Structure 1
Amino acid sequence: MQDKPYILIIDDEKDICNLVSDILQDEGYEVAMAYNGAEAKALKAKREPDLILLDIWMPDIDGISLLEAWHDNGELHCPVIMMSGHGTLEHAIEATKLGAADFLEKPLTLAKLLLVVEKTLAESQEAPPTFQQERIHPLPIKPFEPIGRSPMMNTLRQKLKEAAKSDSNILLIHTFGSEIAGIASYIHTNSQQKNAPFLELSFNSLTLNEVKELIENTEKRSQLLQSVEGGTLYLSNLEQADEQTQRLIYDLLQTKSYLHPQTGTLTASNIRYLFSAQPSLYSLVDSGDFNEGLWHLINVVVIEIPSLSEHPEDVPELISYYVHHFVEDKHLTYRHFSIAAQNRLRNHHWKGNNLALKNIIQRLLVLGKSDEVTLEEVNSTLEHDLKMEQNDPLAITDHLLLHLPLREAREQFERAYLIAQYERSEGNIANLAELVGMERTNLYRKLKSLDIDPKKGY
């Protein structure tokens, strides 16, 4: 007789812990309970569970930190389902990056609990854990349909829809700050692969060791490809892929097969590839620094994403879209943008494209004191940004970062970014959390890790 799956429940709320335990035992599972992190570590060390149900909020250590410790120490040998009564999308993303299989919101419903548990256990038995580096997004990236009624946007939408219907590789050329990941997801949702996985692999943030692992570790590469079989693999920041990585991509596109992780047999792949790069890719091709064979494989359907400054007439519609996004999805307070305010934003030169506009709108919603966003308020915000860009010694520019290792450059940027946003939020931590899109507990942890203490002047 096959052993019953052994499930470890970790939750400081004893009533919930006991209730979930009773439900799972009635369904035939073997269950153990831990009411804090210390008990959880001891029980896991004593016997490895088949599945862990892990609450985020606990007295001695939060669930994300506990999951991170198991992940970093190589001790995560079973699927983990996170639970929280005050969860956010950010928690879900952070947990999934660390290897969590799913995320349950409290109050738990019997049907949802059993469905997720059964599904997770079944998936863990069918295949080994998939390659889940931090730079691969296992959660769906929200599709972004280009906004606006200008001829340029009408043409772009039509191009994207037509390209989505084909099986050809697609290359998206864009400048910084475009909604490029959302556009790639938009292509996927309009394709025949729309019901299959969509994953992003970014060469902007992969470390050399991670790229080397993908190149040299056949098993890891096979797990990655199997996890997206039948769907879309989106490779972003292609201009930053080194010579070895370019050869790896070339081989993937040429062979269209991989070694099956379980059987070890050569398996034909059915994967749609999307690529994105900044215009500097053209220079690499011209200078011979980009793999010629790979260029011919990806230079099939090339779509250039216009910068926001090329279609300023669409800014008012984008303002409406982003306001709706922050009010509906982020629960910020609605504010009406006056015609004068919209016109000022319409005529601003957006070097940071959609991202810069989106950040300004978020800040105006968070920090505003009245129901209407005025022209004066917009002018003040734009002037403040320009002043900081010109005079702030902490402002990060490309030439200051290029000589640094990736981790160090990222830390410097994060530190400067958070200090700048703290000043913009007038020293209010609640406003800062809204501006940077972080839950307050995680924000405090991030500030501490970067040695930022606002009370002491950083």
Structure 2
Amino acid sequence: MTAQILLIDEDAAERRSMKAAIEAHGHAVHVADTASAGIELFRRHYDQISVVVLDATSADGLNPTLIPVLAEINPAVPVIVATTEGATETALEAVRAGAFDFLVKPIAQERLIGAIESALKIHRTSLQGRAPRRARSGSVSFADVVAASAAMSRVVELGRRAAQSTIPVMLEGEPGVGKELVARAIHGASDRSSRPFIPVNCNTVSPSEIEEFLFGGENQPGKLAEAEGGTLFVEEISELPPVGQMRLLEMVQSGEVHRQGQPRPLKANVRLILATNKDLIEEVKAGRFREDLYYRVNVFPITIASLRRRKEDIPHLVRAFVERFSLEQRLPRTLQVDPSALALLTSFEWPGNTRQLENAIFRAVVLAEGTSLRESDFPQIVAQVAVSRGGAPGAEPQAVLHEPSPIAKVQAALAERTASFTSGYSASSTGFGAAQSANVIVSTDQAGNVRKLAEIEEELIRFALKFYRGQMSQVARKLGIGRSTLYRKLKDYGIDPDDPQKDAA
């Protein structure tokens, strides 16, 4: 079946070579030599183009906003990114941004056509009712949030509390961790659940248009008006330009919005849920985000941990995604997951977080040929494991060794410094209480069960406060978290931020 492919590549020779290979397999090719020309072509033919092949080997590398812009135009079209050998970070950036696949130049013709054919199968499936990035619709509840880990259980608990009020909520976390899902769950559990939930991503709207897009103007009512009575979810709030920040501050303070062409301000009856993947207090210090707006909207912060820090959620997410996609693809029975595949998925770091895992499972289910998913059904993950180890993209996956997390590094350092206090300590002879008095952080309770992560985190924070004599900036730096996050955790654990040493371990 003939399909239309958009090829964006600055290299004329590469364009001719790939165009010829694609056309030889019976497909039509649209060609663009720059990203802006490619976007313009895609806007004109968004309902005809089935796959985008994008070169990321220019001197400037991959434009991080390009794939989201393409997805905004038509999220059902898979994007394949071409990188140079050794360009690990570029490949990972592409995956984080939502790329379907990546190819390493020089690209073998068979590999190029194989990737396009797989993408076409995904696209045809999406036209039958599902886009690769599923746009959530209908009511979402906290039951839809997988919370096997203590970290996500805490998010759900805070989300339920937030749903009972109308104060602004700030969701913090890396791209793809599920901030929109949590926002929808908060909306669904609130008394505004029957009213609209309107999402806006500040990264996908140009700075010159975002003000009118959000607040409306002479030609459009704006997203704020669409969300009347419901919830306005603003993603990447740190990217809101200064004028937009000022308008948002005015709205939060007065409850009114001034729209161009209107003689008087209009009442704004909306619940604000905002999201960011940056440390906003650092943005305030750098002068990129208004301090007065920060304190107005950062009333109820909820931090969603990256997937690599809550790996106990991965098996549950995998099974939930496999079950859902098996039903959506109308398979006679739900696919099984081979133990080796589950081990691969659980050990992987998932730089694109839950969104990347969801897309990987969707691709595997659509392209699966057997009754179970095996390691070979996740070629992207196998390739990334190989690339991260410096091997060939087709190499067998092996265990990946990672640098210790900041918390782990601090724990090790603190253990070294307190060795003199704990020499001769024996868990069997002194017990759990003695371990605490000796400033040792142990991982099991008196019954021999693994302690809750929140308990260990609280204990470590209290010890760090004592160890660094309440110097908050040093405590935050050594723990590897932002000061705003540290202050929020102090509040969660009932520690007085004005006199932290009083409550220290």
Q: TM-score, normalised by structure 2?
A: 0.47
- The one-letter code of the counterpart of 1:347 is S
1:3-402 → structure 2 map (5 Å cutoff): 88-89=128-129, 145-214=144-213, 218-219=217-218, 222-258=221-257, 265-331=264-330, 334-374=334-374, 376-377=375-376, 381-386=380-385
In structure 2, relative to structure 1, the CA distance for the partners of 1:288 and 1:391 (3 Å cut) is: farther
Identity of aligned residues (%): 22
- The one-letter code of the counterpart of 2:147 is G
Query: Partner residue of 2:439?
Result: none
Residue-by-residue CA offset, 1:9-36 (whole Å, 9 max, x unaligned): xxxxxxxxxxxxxxxxxxxxxxxxxxxx
Partners of 1:364 and 1:339 lie apart in 2 by: 15
Partners of 2:277 and 2:237 lie apart in 1 by: 8
In structure 2, relative to structure 1, the CA distance for the partners of 1:263 and 1:277 (3 Å cut) is: closer
Residue-by-residue CA offset, 1:120-167 (whole Å, 9 max, x unaligned): xxxxxxxxxxxxxxxxx9965856732032222222111111111111
- The residue matched to 2:163 in structure 1 has which SS? helix
C-alpha root-mean-square deviation of aligned residues, in Å?
3.8
- The residue matched to 2:350 in structure 1 has which SS? coil
- The residue matched to 2:147 in structure 1 has which SS? coil
User: Residue 215 of structure 2 contacts residue 221 of structure 2 at CA under 8 Å; is this kept in 1?
Assistant: no
- The residue matched to 1:253 in structure 2 has which SS? helix
Partners of 1:202 and 1:180 lie apart in 2 by: 12
- The one-letter code of the counterpart of 2:154 is T
Residue-by-residue CA offset, 1:34-82 (whole Å, 9 max, x unaligned): xxxxxxxxxxxxxxxxxxxxxxxxxxxx9978xxxxxx9xxxxxxxxxx
- The one-letter code of the counterpart of 2:343 is N
Query: Partner residue of 1:410?
Result: none
Partners of 1:186 and 1:369 lie apart in 2 by: 35
Partners of 1:240 and 1:326 lie apart in 2 by: 33
Instruction: Give the CA deviation at 1:331.
Output: 3.8
- The one-letter code of the counterpart of 1:210 is E
Q: Which runs of 5+ in 1 are unaligned?
A: 1-61, 66-71, 73-85, 95-136, 394-458
Residue-by-residue CA offset, 1:383-428 (whole Å, 9 max, x unaligned): 22345787999xxxxxxxxxxxxxxxxxxxxxxxxxxxxxxxxxxx
Partners of 1:298 and 1:216 lie apart in 2 by: 17
Query: Partner residue of 1:78?
Result: none
In structure 2, relative to structure 1, the CA distance for the partners of 1:326 and 1:273 (3 Å cut) is: same
In structure 2, relative to structure 1, the CA distance for the partners of 1:163 and 1:355 (3 Å cut) is: same
Instruction: Give the CA deviation at 1:218.
Output: 3.9
Kindly tell me the number of residue pairs found equivalent between the two proteins.
270
Larger Rg belongs to: 2
User: Residue 231 of structure 1 contacts residue 271 of structure 1 at CA under 8 Å; is this kept in 2?
Assistant: yes
Partners of 1:377 and 1:320 lie apart in 2 by: 18
User: Residue 140 of structure 2 contacts residue 188 of structure 2 at CA under 8 Å; is this kept in 1?
Assistant: no
Instruction: Give the CA deviation at 1:195.
Output: 0.5
Instruction: Give the CA deviation at 1:268.
Output: 2.5
Q: TM-score, normalised by structure 1?
A: 0.51
Partners of 2:281 and 2:164 lie apart in 1 by: 26
Partners of 1:377 and 1:197 lie apart in 2 by: 42
Q: Which runs of 5+ in 2 are unaligned?
A: 1-44, 49-72, 74-125, 394-505
- The one-letter code of the counterpart of 2:345 is L
In structure 2, relative to structure 1, the CA distance for the partners of 1:162 and 1:324 (3 Å cut) is: same
In structure 2, relative to structure 1, the CA distance for the partners of 1:223 and 1:286 (3 Å cut) is: closer
Query: Partner residue of 2:16?
Result: none
Instruction: Give the CA deviation at 1:279.
Output: 2.5
User: Residue 213 of structure 2 contacts residue 222 of structure 2 at CA under 8 Å; is this kept in 1?
Assistant: no
- The one-letter code of the counterpart of 2:363 is R
User: Residue 215 of structure 2 contacts residue 223 of structure 2 at CA under 8 Å; is this kept in 1?
Assistant: no
Instruction: Give the CA deviation at 1:315.
Output: 1.0
Partners of 1:367 and 1:87 lie apart in 2 by: 16
